[in-house]
Structure 1
Amino acid sequence: MSIGVWFVVLPGVLSLDLTGPAETLKLAGDAFHLHFIGPDPHVSTSIGLNFSGIEPLPESFPPGSLLVLPGVCDSNRYFDTPQAEAVRRWLTRLQPQIHSQQLNLMCVCSGSLLAAKAGLMNGVQCTTHHDVLARLRAAAPTAQVKENRIFIEDRGIWTSAGITSGIDLSLHLINRYCGPKPALDVAREMVVWFRRSGDDPQLSPWLRYRNHIHPAVHRAQDLLSAAPESAWDVQEIADKVHVSSRHLARLFQQHLGISVRDYLEQLRLAVAEQRLLQGQRMEQAAIAAGFSSPRQLHRARMRNAH
């Protein structure tokens, strides 16, 4: 089922705060359905480009929707307008939906200031652009404002640090709603680094070593990720990605900081751990993941525990 995403568009909106997350979510295909809403049917953006076709502000949303508040180029000016005041009052009326998490909220950059003025940040862990952290604290004295964070979530309210962090957060939301592979595919399509927040669990091996753009290494990783249980030989992998085995080994060390065999072992470990969580016995999990025996799986777990 498609998730409705509603972008609030105000005069002076930072174009990348809006288009960055919108393009990111759009690349996830039919998983998200985008809407653009606001008090005015057309506005001028931070770069002078005009947006039109903006829908009126709805009074309610389907459960599970995502409301996005982008930042503006001059929050002192553009959050002190009749349009911003109309949105503030409207957000205040939406508090019950947001606080019950029927409606999730995503604030990009200074968008968190507008949410704070509407009373949505009281007692919430949040962040914003470093230039307006003090103003966020003043607007929401009981908020738990965090510094040096790319993004943070608290009870269905997401806030991000500024501009490109909206893309980071959107990738994270694709991962949350659709899974790691669609998020990784979008990140690769956009040629951006799929980052996670500091409080998130460590990246799985399918994502942890993907922060590069070398096509041969990506092709090799795709092969191994598709069938980690197979009896892969380094020469076979190298042949399939059209490089020598020695060059492939160098590329893995250069771009991943790990050998081909160690990378494959980490994939197999992830598969085995998932099988164990599903209730399989050690021997079943080991064989299904590509290990020759439970002992080999145990040794791999010991090696990767350090």
Structure 2
Amino acid sequence: MSTTPELTEAVFLLEPHTLLLDVAGPAEALRLANQALQRQGRPPAFRLRYVAAQPDVLSSVGLSLGPLEPLPQALQAQSWLFLLGCRHAQPGEPAPGSAQRADALRTQRWLHGVGQQLLQQKQGRLVGICSGTLLAAQAGLLSGRRCTTHHELLDALRRHAPQAEVVDNRVFVLDGALASSAGVTAGIDLTLHLIQLRCGDAIAASVAQTMVVYLRRSPQDPQLSPLLAHRHHLHPAVHRVQDALCAQPGKPWSLQSMAEVAHVTPRHLGRLFGEHADTTPLRYLQAIRLELARRARQQGQSLADAAALAGFSSEQQWRRTQRAHAALGVNTAPRKP
């Protein structure tokens, strides 16, 4: 019997003046995930659809988007429905006419129905990008839920969803089948995380590298794979070092050689890692090596080969590193294949 996961339909709900990056960023990440899967000989994971109350809409930058599908009567249980932000009304811009108001009301009623199904069935996702979370609030979908939005709209979200727990200062928030992100580019961060949950960390990392973005999370979120952890910051020098360590974990790294990658002094690099990545350069490198050794063991490599592949000089060094990390509360014991 085939165990191939069903194709996930990523449905983008477009409204007049939709922020173009809110559409393009997540959609491009999903396309690149399919591309990365196919390079591995795996089937694509996502089918992208674009729906609206009208056959075309004008985006935030004046680009017409269409033709678009009409609002479907229902969505598949495992669909991801993306709610996108819209730009603010411009000074002197005419108020929406009766036809636009009717479309908005029809869209809101449609969203209430399909959104409730997605949240209740828990097989798919309702994804709010930037101010798109306000659409979910206006459709009555956020009661008792944790969520976030663009920092300028947090108070508005609280007004529209008084029974929701609106979270400040977060890149994105997950609450069961509901996912919501802060402003604009945070939608890419959220989509990368959803790709990681759906397709694995290697595919998510491949997409992030292709898009030249980083996998970011807030420090309160659950633990990531060591290959993706400690990336919730924005400091370019620390990211450069992390990229170099992930690319060549077996290199005989020293604090000096890491600092040369960052173009700072060794002492300053230690401070930067502590402030922005909440770890030390050496501890970060050790975590990467331990994870690679664990994966090598799972794939059937011997202890000696797994240690060598991960960059340890010996099995004894591997075990000493495991004990040191275990003392810090990190489970790094090798698992037998």
Query: Same fold judged by TM-score > 0.5?
Result: yes
Residue equivalent to 1:54: 68
Residue equivalent to 1:143: 164
Q: Tell me which amino acid in the other structure corresponds to 1:10.
A: E
Q: Is the 8 A contact 2:83 2:129 kept in 1?
A: yes
Residue deviations 1:141-168, cap 9 Å, x none?
1111111111101120111111111111
Q: Is the 8 A contact 1:10 1:83 kept in 2?
A: no
Q: Is the 8 A contact 1:217 1:251 kept in 2?
A: no
Distance (whole Å) between structure 1 residues aligned to residue 294 and residue 241 of structure 2: 28
Matched, 1:107 2:128: yes
Q: Is the 8 A contact 1:66 1:104 kept in 2?
A: yes
| Structure 2 counterpart SS, 1:149 | coil
Q: Is the 8 A contact 2:245 2:285 kept in 1?
A: no
Residue equivalent to 2:174: 153
Deviation at 1:137, TM superposition (A): 1.5
Q: Please, which moves more after superposition, 189-198 or 254-263?
A: 254-263
Residue equivalent to 1:228: none
Identify unmatched segments of 5+ residues in structure 1. Answer: 225-231, 239-244
Q: Tell me which amino acid in the other structure corresponds to 2:246.
A: Q
Deviation at 1:119, TM superposition (A): 1.1
Deviation at 1:218, TM superposition (A): 4.1
Distance (whole Å) between structure 1 residues aligned to residue 319 and residue 48 of structure 2: 50
Residue equivalent to 1:5: 10
Aligned residues: 285
Distance (whole Å) between structure 2 residues aligned to residue 297 and residue 247 of structure 1: 20
Residue equivalent to 1:300: 324
User: Which residue, out of 21, 40, 52, partners 1:16?
Assistant: 21
Deviation at 1:200, TM superposition (A): 2.0
Residue equivalent to 2:137: 116
- In the TM superposition, 1:171-182 aligns within 5 A as 171-182=192-203
Residue equivalent to 1:92: 112
Matched, 1:36 2:46: no
- In the TM superposition, 1:1-306 aligns within 5 A as 1=5, 2-29=7-34, 30-74=44-88, 81-94=101-114, 95-208=116-229, 218=243, 221-224=246-249, 232=250, 234=252, 250-251=260-261, 254=264, 264-271=285-292, 288-289=306-307, 291-293=314-316, 295-301=319-325
Distance (whole Å) between structure 1 residues aligned to residue 144 and residue 27 of structure 2: 28
Distance (whole Å) between structure 2 residues aligned to residue 250 and residue 303 of structure 1: 30
| Structure 1 counterpart SS, 2:227 | helix
Q: Say if 1:197 and 1:31 are closer, same or farther in 2 by CA, change over 3 A.
A: farther
Q: Is the 8 A contact 2:12 2:82 kept in 1?
A: yes
Q: Is the 8 A contact 2:240 2:261 kept in 1?
A: no
Deviation at 1:120, TM superposition (A): 0.6
- The percentage of counterpart residues that share the same residue type is 38
Distance (whole Å) between structure 1 residues aligned to residue 69 and residue 101 of structure 2: 19
Q: Tell me which amino acid in the other structure corresponds to 1:41.
A: P
| Structure 2 counterpart SS, 1:122 | coil
Deviation at 1:223, TM superposition (A): 4.0
Identify unmatched segments of 5+ residues in structure 2. Answer: 35-43, 274-279, 331-337
Q: CA RMSD in A?
A: 3.6
Q: What TM-score do you get using the length of structure 2 for normalisation? A: 0.72
